[in-house]
C-alpha cells in the first residue's frame, strides 16, 4: 500500500511515519526535494525558507511537481514489482500533490490533525531552531499560511488536503491511542477490520446527503442510539414546497448572504432539523441519542439539538457560524466531537 501523509506541523506526522517504517514501509518525503533545492540556493533549512522554496517549485513546474518526482522515484526503484510495495510518502501540502499520489495503486491519503493548544505545546517541547519560545498566536499565524490563507493554488493548501483525505486521524492522546488508530486505518484499508459504528453512521449521513436539493451545500444527518439508526434527513425545501431550483434559484445567492450568516434567510430545512422532526412525526424517542452529520450545525440547528435531548453530535466538515460556536461553547448538555476515520464524499 502507498500511503501519502498530510497534516499541519506539530500534529504527529513524524510519529506516524516512524511507526509505519517499523512496520516495513519505505519512507520518502517531498520535503527532501525542497531541502535539496535549498542547498543548491545556499539557503538555511528554516521552515519559512522551505515553505517559500516549495511554493516556488510548484509555481515554476506545476502544483504537483514534488509528488510527481516521488512517484517516478518509487516506480523506478520498484521496477516490475511496482504496485506491490509498501511506502509512506510524507510532506503532502498541496491538493495537486495528494491527487497525484492517490493515482498510485492502492494509494491512500492519510490526514492527521490536532488542536491549536496541542500543536503549540508540541512545538515548544521539541524546541527546534526558531521555535523554542513560540507563542500560541505565532503558531496560529503559521497554521493560517499552511492552511492556504493568502496562498494561491500552487502554494500550501493544507486544509484542502485534509478535505480530500481517505482517512482522518485526530492525534490528541497518547502514543498507544495513536497506535490503535493507525492499526485500524491499515486493517480497514486491506479488508481485515470492520468499520466502526461512527464510520457506519457517517457513511449513511453522506449517503442521505446525495438526496439534498440545496444549491449551496449538500448535507445529510443520522440519529442513532444503542448502535441502531433512528431517523435520517437531508437539506431541502419543506414538504409540499418547490425546491429552490424550481423556484427561481437560491435566495441566499440572490441576496449575497455570506455562508454562516442569517440562516433564517433560506427556503430549505436543514438536515439536522429534518432528522429531529422525523422523530417527532413518528413518535421516536431521541433522548440520549447521537446525531451524525457531515457538517457542523448552524445556530438554528444548534438550538434544536440542545432542546431535543440529543447528548452527542459527531460532525465531519466545519461550518463557520460564529453564533453557533459561541452557544455551543457555553453549554454543557451536548458533547461535540469531530469525526475521525474513513472519509466519504457526496
The catalytic site residues sit at 272
3-state secondary structure 278-300: HHHHHCCCCCCCEEEEEECCCHH
Q: E-strand spans in 137-285?
A: 167-170, 220-225, 228-234
| 27, three cell numbers | 519512507
- In sequence order, the β-bridge partners of residue 29 are 90
| 158, three cell numbers | 493544507
- Chain-centre distance for alpha carbon 92: 14
Using alpha carbons, list the distances in angstroms from residue 342 to 59, 122, 181, 346: 32, 26, 11, 14
Residue 152, judged by CB atoms within 10 A of its CB (0-12, 13-18, 19+), counts as exposed
Spatial separation of the C-alpha atoms in residues 308 and 334, rounded to whole Å = 10
**Could you identify the residue written with the cell 435520517?**
232
For the beta sheet containing 26-29, the strands, ordered from the edge strand earlier in sequence to the opposite edge, are: 26-29, 87-92, 2-7, 107-113, 167-170, 341-342
Spatial separation of the C-alpha atoms in residues 37 and 32, rounded to whole Å = 9
Amino acid at each position: 500500500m502507498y500511503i501519502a501523509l498530510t497534516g499541519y506541523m506539530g500534529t504527529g506526522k513524524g510519529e506516524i511515519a516512524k511507526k509505519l517504517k517499523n512496520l516495513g514501509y519505505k519512507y520518502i518525503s517531498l520535503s527532501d526535494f525542497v531541502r535539496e533545492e535549498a542547498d543548491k540556493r545556499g539557503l538555511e533549512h528554516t521552515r519559512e525558507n522551505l515553505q517559500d522554496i516549495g511554493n516556488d517549485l510548484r509555481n515554476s513546474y506545476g502544483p504537483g511537481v514534488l509528488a510527481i518526482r516521488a512517484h517516478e522515484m518509487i516506480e523506478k526503484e520498484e521496477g516490475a514489482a511496482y504496485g506491490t510495495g509498501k511506502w509512506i510518502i510524507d510532506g503532502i501540502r498541496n491538493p495537486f500533490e495528494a491527487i497525484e499520489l492517490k493515482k498510485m495503486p492502492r494509494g491512500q491519503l492519510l490526514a492527521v490533525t490536532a488542536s491549536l493548544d496541542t500543536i503549540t505545546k508540541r512545538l515548544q517541547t521539541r524546541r527546534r531552531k526558531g521555535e523554542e519560545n513560540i507563542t500560541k498566536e505565532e503558531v496560529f499565524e503559521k497554521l493560517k499560511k499552511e492552511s492556504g490563507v493568502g496562498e494561491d493554488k500552487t502554494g500550501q493548501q493544507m486544509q484542502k488536503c485534509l478535505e480530500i483525505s481517505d482517512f482522518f486521524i485526530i492525534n490528541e492522546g497518547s502514543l498507544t491511542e495513536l497506535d490503535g488508530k493507525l492499526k485500524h486505518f491499515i486493517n480497514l484499508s486491506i479488508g481485515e477490520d470492520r468499520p466502526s459504528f461512527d464510520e457506519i453512521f457517517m457513511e449513511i449521513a453522506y449517503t442521505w446527503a446525495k438526496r439534498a436539493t440545496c444549491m449551496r451545500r449538500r448535507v445529510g444527518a443520522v440519529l442513532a442510539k444503542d448502535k441502531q439508526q433512528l431517523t435520517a434527513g437531508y437539506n431541502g425545501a419543506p414538504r409540499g414546497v418547490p425546491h429552490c431550483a424550481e423556484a427561481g434559484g437560491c435566495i441566499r445567492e440572490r441576496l449575497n448572504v455570506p455562508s454562516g450568516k442569517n440562516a433564517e434567510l433560506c427556503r430549505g430545512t436543514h438536515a439536522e432539523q429534518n432528522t429531529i422532526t422525523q422523530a417527532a412525526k413518528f413518535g421516536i424517542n431521541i433522548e440520549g441519542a447521537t446525531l451524525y452529520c457531515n457538517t457542523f450545525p448552524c445556530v438554528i440547528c444548534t438550538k434544536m439539538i440542545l432542546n431535543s435531548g440529543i447528548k452527542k453530535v459527531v460532525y465531519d466538515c466545519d461550518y463557520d457560524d460564529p453564533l453557533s460556536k459561541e452557544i455551543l461553547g457555553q453549554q454543557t448538555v451536548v458533547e461535540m466531537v469531530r469525526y475521525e476515520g474513513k472519509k466519504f464524499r457526496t
